Structure 1
Amino acid sequence: MGKTPLVKGIQVDIQTRCAHYHSDVDVIAIRFHCCGEYYACYSCHQEQADHEPSRWPKRLWDERAILCGSCNHELTVHEYMNAPRCPVCQHGFNEGCRLHYPLYFEM
């Protein structure tokens, strides 16, 4: 197993929850297309990065860009969008995150 990616953000815990999203199911981090860095959420990126975010183009949705904070498995954008839970550890993901897809992914 490879090295666990660093997840940036505000008050990030071991399962990638942050000051903005910290429920039991808020366990994913997103590798931002613009910088290749994992952040706990969009707000964390806005507060800490020195650049504007860019969204993942549809043509790159097969790239691993989502980190399960429960087991550190990296999912592709496609896998994440079609999975209500991690395919490895079965930890549930926050269904409400779908409302934020336009912030992260080209729709």
Structure 2
Amino acid sequence: MIPVYGSTVDDETRCIHYRTPVDIVAIRFACCGRYYPCHLCHAEAESHEARQWPVAERETKAILCGVCKTELTIATYLTVLACPACGSPFNEGCRLHTHLYFEVA
């Protein structure tokens, strides 16, 4: 089982900040290698600044589907609207926060 840090509210990686039915991903932060449900959970739990994943590391597995626990590469996550393994839909609004987790070209 991959640990997810932060203020989770269930076993599908939802947190106190984002807990709709489609908030089911956790992101492994480049700075510490820990999975968090969101940037706010990371900021509350860690004493260091978040660092975005470089564009050159898009093939790194850094996204966890909270439903089936499949790890996705960053490149895959950025091109899908649902988990390719189980079909569970992801929150499309998360795309507004892409720059907080990944360098954008």
Which structure 2 residues correspond to residues 44-63 of structure 1 after superposition, within 5 A? 44-63=41-60
Residue 33 of structure 1 pairs with residue 30 of structure 2: yes
Corresponding residue SS for 2:27:
strand
Aligned residues: 104
Normalised to the residue count of structure 2, the TM-score between the two structures is 0.97
Normalised to the residue count of structure 1, the TM-score between the two structures is 0.95
Instruction: For residue 24 of structure 1, report the CA deviation from its aligned partner.
Output: 0.3
Moved over 6 A (4+): none
Instruction: For residue 50 of structure 1, report the CA deviation from its aligned partner.
Output: 1.5
Correspondence for 1:24 among 17, 21, 25: 21
Q: RMSD value over aligned CA atoms?
A: 0.7
* Alpha-carbon contact 1:68-1:86 (below 8 Å) kept: yes
Structure 1, gaps ≥5 residues long? none
Structure 2, gaps ≥5 residues long? none
What is the identity percentage for the equivalent residue pairs of Structure 1 and Structure 2? 51
User: Which deviations, in whole Å up to 9, do the C-alpha atoms of 1:6-29 show, x marking residues without a partner?
Assistant: 000113410000000000000000
User: Which deviations, in whole Å up to 9, do the C-alpha atoms of 1:10-57 show, x marking residues without a partner?
Assistant: 134100000000000000000000000001100000000111100000
* Alpha-carbon contact 1:12-1:40 (below 8 Å) kept: no
* Alpha-carbon contact 2:8-2:37 (below 8 Å) kept: no
* Alpha-carbon contact 2:83-2:90 (below 8 Å) kept: yes
